[in-house]
Structure 1
Amino acid sequence: MNTIMIIVGSVRPGRLGLPIAKWVEKAALGAGTFDIDFVDLAELALPFMDEPNHPRMQQYTHQHTREWSARVAAANGFIFVAPEYNHSYSPALKNALDYLAVEWWRKPAGFVTYGGVSAGTRGVVGLEPVLGILGLVRVGAELEIPLFNEPRFVDGEFVPTDKEQTILSKMLHELESLTESLKSSQE
């Protein structure tokens, strides 16, 4: 079975991404086609990039980097649950991506973004050059969750709309398909 890593792309206290990511995890497990590695960047607690060598060399000097490398290398694809910060992406997510290079190569990535009116869209647009240089392959289905007009959380849990559930299902299907087709290009 393929492993999908779900990454909570914010470390801010009180962030809304954690309950959204838990909903994504539940849906992915329910699909029955993936093993899940759930990564909360707040718990991972990578320090600001502290490796002396370029990530492409994979000559890591810190245990936290070696552990992060092993987890990302073991994943066959990713779902980034990411906020939009000031028309861009979170620094914690950028830092986590920048720690590594080779480990991301030719693996599919989906985005579940959230925010105000733009629902996180501009954060993903800002990440596109980063994803390209790392060799990540975006799936076509992208879920953008606006959080400005209706109650989206009940008792700390995210309440998706039918449309959001449908888009996430499509994303999971695309991830399943792409993980298989991209495996040979990861070597």
Structure 2
Amino acid sequence: MSTTPLRLAVITGSVRDGRFGPTVATWVASLAKERDDLLVDAIDLADHPLPHELSHNPGEDVAQVLSKLSPRLADADAFIVVTPEYNHSFPASLKSLIDWHGKEWAAKPVGFVSYGGLSGGLRAVEQLRQVFAEMHAVSVRDVVSFHNCWGQFDETGALKEPVGATAAAATLFDQLGWWGHALREAREKRPYGSR
């Protein structure tokens, strides 16, 4: 198996005012950057506004946003989607990102870090698994989930009790690593042609 580090895109899915996503995304991205088997590209959807109206011929403004975003997704070998749970689901900004792209997701692994109230965003993750399966992506089993997340991080963005979440993140990274290397080698030998 290749020892070349995997290119991991960590996607902050919420664009809502007052969002907590950047805190969670910064935490998981900083852990990923400590590993020598991952090269991290942090993508915050607040920096890449996409319209909800899809088009095969996007206007100049949308084409400009896509030109800054799509190549980063295409270059990624694996993804971590950081998602909250809004009304038992995931944010529209994530659905828009997914729907504006196709081949960028295909035959690549996706992991999830979720946050929210009592459910910790897990209902959003379960729905995202179905959506990514339709995009021919492979979702890994284990997730990192923050239940009632707002009290778990201090004012600097550090976890107050990091042991459990850090161990869960290591498992997530390991699963993404296995699938990421296996699928990258498979794509190199035989390009994935279903999309």
TM surpasses 0.5: yes
1:64 maps to 65
The alignment partner of 2:41 has SS state of strand
* Among 3, 7, 22, the residue aligned to 1:3: 7
Alignment root-mean-square deviation, CA: 1.9
1:144 maps to 145
Is residue 106–residue 182 contact of structure 1 (8 Å, CA) maintained in 2? yes
User: Normalization by structure 1: what TM-score?
Assistant: 0.89
- Is 1:52 aligned to residue 56 of structure 2? yes
Is residue 9–residue 92 contact of structure 1 (8 Å, CA) maintained in 2? yes
- Is 1:15 aligned to residue 19 of structure 2? yes
* Among 32, 35, 43, the residue aligned to 1:31: 35
Q: Which runs of 5+ in 2 are unaligned?
A: none
Is residue 114–residue 144 contact of structure 1 (8 Å, CA) maintained in 2? yes
Q: Which runs of 5+ in 1 are unaligned?
A: 55-60
- How far does residue 127 in structure 1 lie from its aligned partner after superposition? 1.6
User: Partners of 1:52 and 1:172 in 2: how far apart?
Assistant: 35
Q: C-alpha offsets along residues 55-97 of structure 1, whole Å, 9 cap, x if unaligned?
A: xxxxxx8232233221111000000010000011100011011
User: Normalization by structure 2: what TM-score?
Assistant: 0.86
- Is 1:123 aligned to residue 114 of structure 2? no
Q: How many residue pairs were aligned?
A: 180
CA distance 1:95–1:158, change in 2 (3 Å): farther
Is residue 3–residue 77 contact of structure 1 (8 Å, CA) maintained in 2? yes
- How far does residue 2 in structure 1 lie from its aligned partner after superposition? 1.5
The share of aligned pairs that are identical, in percent, is 32
Is residue 133–residue 139 contact of structure 2 (8 Å, CA) maintained in 1? no
Counterpart of 2:151 in structure 1: which amino acid?
Answer: P
4+ long deviations beyond 6 Å: none
